Amino acid sequence: MRPPGRGGVPPASPALLLLLLLLLLPGLMQLLGAPRGVGAGTGAGAPSELRVRVRLPDGQVTEESLQADSDADSISLELRKPDGTLISFTADFKKDVKIFRALILGELEKGQSQFQALCFVTRLHHNEIIPSEAMAKLRQKNPQAVRQAEEVRGLEQMHMDITVNFSQGGLLSPHLRNVCAEAADAIYTRQEDVRFWLEQGVDSFVFEALPKASEQMLLPRCGQVGDRGKPCVCRYGLSLAWYPCMLKYCHGRDRPTPYKCGIRSCQKSYSFDFYVPQRQLCLWDEDP
């Protein structure tokens, strides 16, 4: 005789309960607002990431990560060079700021620290790279393909004669505090860019002057200085091997106006000259 109140229904096995839980879990997670599997967070306005294999100017291949945040209206790019140096680029469209960062591995046998960080901050012109909302829509069709830029843009040489006060850097761009955290004492910019940002309302105490250009002109390049304790003018070069620089527009018979149908990729190299108080801070600059 069965106990009263059971109604003849046998008890559920633990395996059956587990199966029911697994079947119901996706619906419960959706109701609670939790992400669902791979690709969660790629909805409108959420940051998106694209990983591509790219060919560097020296012919070697590396992986590049591109991220777009249409809410923050920003784009970031990151790649690791074969020597271990990590290069990153951030475009802040809201503040008209672009940030280059290099994390350079140190040579312990030369008395260097584990790594050295540099940040270079310049004005962003909106025609340099595609908008963040367009970048967020890009998808990788062939992950194994090695991308090579369709257009090689000319080398841009810049003399960095101003430093950015790290503690106040958030007033220039909210991304600076995060991107340049390791380079708090080595964030460089240019007078011409500072003048533009001051006109946009950025406070002048964000910036600090380096020795005057006339004084720096008397200093030798670091590659010509033998004493590691002496000041000199350092040069650092970096390259963005592959990035979407323009949108492509196509014409259709049934469309009265051109429509977006792809991107054009570019490669661009930069060379930065800046003052350092000691040759020790620029040991990679071996060329005269």
Q: Which residue has the tokens 């200093």?
A: 219
The pLDDT tens digits along the chain (288 residues) read 334 444 443 444 444 444 344 344 333 333 333 322 223 333 445 567 899 999 988 889 999 999 999 999 999 999 999 889 999 999 999 999 999 999 998 766 666 667 899 999 999 998 899 999 999 988 878 888 999 999 999 999 999 999 999 999 999 999 999 999 999 999 999 999 999 999 999 999 999 988 765 566 688 999 898 888 899 999 999 999 999 999 988 888 788 888 888 899 999 999 999 999 999 889 888 754
Backbone angles phi, psi at 59, to 5 degrees: 95, -15
Q: What is the pLDDT of residue 285?
A: 81
pLDDT in tens, 21-54: 434 433 333 333 332 222 333 344 556 789 999 9
What is the full DSSP assignment across 29-81?
HHHHT---STTTT-STTS-EEEEEEEE-TTS-EEEEEEEEETTTTEEEEEEE-
- The sheet carrying 207-209 orders its strands as 146-147, 48-55, 61-69, 74-80, 86-92, 97-105, 115-123, 187-189, 162-164, 207-209
**Could you give the CA distance from residue 264 to residue 74 in angstroms, rounded to a whole number?**
19
Over its C-alpha atoms, the chain yields an Rg (Å, rounded) of 26
**Could you give the CA distance from residue 127 to residue 106 in angstroms, rounded to a whole number?**
36
